[in-house]
Structure 1
């Protein structure tokens, strides 16, 4: 008996408020449901009476994946995954069903800064799938070949292209949509009989290639909520004995540009013209890295500026150095935003 199975893909509703995308840093879980399209599978039946070959067409069927993974905070992820796919053979003179289930190990990369409010990603995976053919039968020339219901294993490989849409108000939660290509390595041979006569027969199945479209959800544990808007700073009376200078840096750099060296030189020269008892050198970053990484980067920037001040003649003992990471943003932003005005070191003459 030939069964046809179809699956309607759910339509994603437009989200009322956009959420900022950010790289996953830590454990996450995910799952997806969709439709699997299997290409025609070549079958060769061999018996003492001879052999018979045919390409078996298939109908679309359901597919399911669940995953547990870890993100490294820089867009790179690794995960283990469980898979299930079902298809039926559909054509003149043959029928049956095939289901696949197994596990994969995937490596993926998220392009966090490529598109606002959505994270495209790509990935590859390898693993092992069990393939069960059920009620597989074909009739030709008055002979009916029927296989036993049994399971054979194959190594598997896959490619993934997808996108994640963060859900507003729920840090770490995202809706996903993706395309997956799954291929099985090698052939699988099943036992059966040819009637009339109950003649033993073996059936070799080849060329198992699958295309799946899936929609699902993913949740990253420990995702930080978006920061609350910074309160308006209270007015501070200007001090006649304090002056400040801002030195800006390229993204993810702690190297002084020519313009930055000019500003440091101006600050060093100004410290000789006014009564200066202390010079504060405070480093900052934008929010595009992890808080831990940004704290270290801000301190490296402050140390580079302090060293340039000493080179320009400022006594080392009057300089205090601090790194504030992504706190005290000059331009308030959400997480994962590259903002040039926030990549700075402030020199304060007191």
Structure 2
């Protein structure tokens, strides 16, 4: 008379990886996980509809796509027979240790399907303890939901089989096939998440500025210059509490001392026009820089229109 010894087993292979705008879990690293679920025997001698349980843990390394893991699990299944005086009293237990190689599809997405397979050892109830050692193998398919860069929730279906265990009872040897289908859920945590640097602060807003240009050796204002000054005065009024700096410049024609005085006259001319537009004189500072700070670099003695200017900066 031959009867099977059924046991459930296995550990779950969890794992991470995925991405999102800046990709979730898209980095290699070690991970650990734990989970459990139902164990369903596929060997007919155990009777249809019998459901046991399985719990387990995993530790592995994720290469972002391929993964390798050590899965350790323990499971129990009810039996439709008893062998008094043995460990097989209406149920069978099995401890498995499996090395699995898995592959994650779309490893940088939030939802990541995966497959895997592996082999190892199973320790199955024999007489009074988990004493029967068998070769074990498994195949699995699952899907992961990446909760964060480090944590993953997964559901998985796994087939676990072993070589046929046997037990001696009352001078007879009982043996049979041992194949189980596991339906499991679990979580995993991956170490070494890369540190994401905070975004740099936004650059300070540039102070509004306006340019007023002058004819050669002149400090009077053209109509276009007056229009520009009017715009600058309007901008000052919208800012409320602000200050204006009017900086005068010249080109390189003429003596340096003369140009320094000319640049200051130009700056004061702009200040007077701003005051006429309603800007308080106390809010305006004037600076003369002469030939320094050329807008267009030239040699000495060059009449360059772009260099004959006053820069109005509102702060």
Report the TM-score, using the length of structure 1 for normalisation. 0.46
Instruction: Figure out how many residues of one structure are paired with residues of the other and give that number.
Output: 180
Query: Secondary structure, in 3 states, of the residue corresponding to 1:97?
Result: strand
Determine if the alignment matches structure 1 residue 62 to structure 2 residue 53.
yes
Q: Which runs of 4+ in 1 moved over 4 A?
A: 225-236
Q: Does the CA-based 8 Å contact 1:118-1:165 persist in structure 2?
A: yes
Among 165, 190, 198, the alignment partner of 1:188 is 165
Question: 1:12-23 alignment to 2 at 5 Å?
Answer: 20-23=23-26
Q: Does the CA-based 8 Å contact 2:55-2:73 persist in structure 1?
A: yes
Which structure features the higher share of strand residues?
A: 1
Query: Judging changes above 3 Å, is the alpha-carbon distance between structure 1 residues 23 and 123 closer, same or farther for their aligned structure 2 residues?
Result: farther
Determine if the alignment matches structure 1 residue 25 to structure 2 residue 28.
yes
Distance 1:210 1:235 in 2: 67
Distance 2:59 2:33 in 1: 7
Distance 2:183 2:143 in 1: 12
Which residue pairs with 1:201 in the alignment?
Answer: 172
Among 91, 100, 104, the alignment partner of 2:98 is 104
Determine if the alignment matches structure 1 residue 37 to structure 2 residue 40.
yes
Query: Judging changes above 3 Å, is the alpha-carbon distance between structure 1 residues 103 and 91 closer, same or farther for their aligned structure 2 residues?
Result: closer
Structural RMSD (CA): 3.0
Which residue pairs with 2:251 in the alignment?
Answer: none
Query: Judging changes above 3 Å, is the alpha-carbon distance between structure 1 residues 227 and 61 closer, same or farther for their aligned structure 2 residues?
Result: farther
Q: Which runs of 5+ in 2 are unaligned?
A: 1-19, 83-87, 207-315
Among 184, 197, 211, the alignment partner of 2:181 is 211
Determine if the alignment matches structure 1 residue 149 to structure 2 residue 128.
yes
Query: Per-residue displacement from partner, 1:19-78 (whole Å, max 9, x unpaired)?
Result: 95333511110111111101235xxxxxxxxxxxxx332621111120111112x31111
Which residue pairs with 1:127 in the alignment?
Answer: 120
Shift of 1:215: 0.8
Which residue pairs with 1:285 in the alignment?
Answer: none
Whichever of the two has the greater Rg, that structure is 2
Report the TM-score, using the length of structure 2 for normalisation. 0.51
Query: Secondary structure, in 3 states, of the residue corresponding to 2:194?
Result: coil
Query: Per-residue displacement from partner, 1:138-197 (whole Å, max 9, x unpaired)?
Result: xxxxxxxxxx435311101101111221224xx311111111110112x2221112xxxx
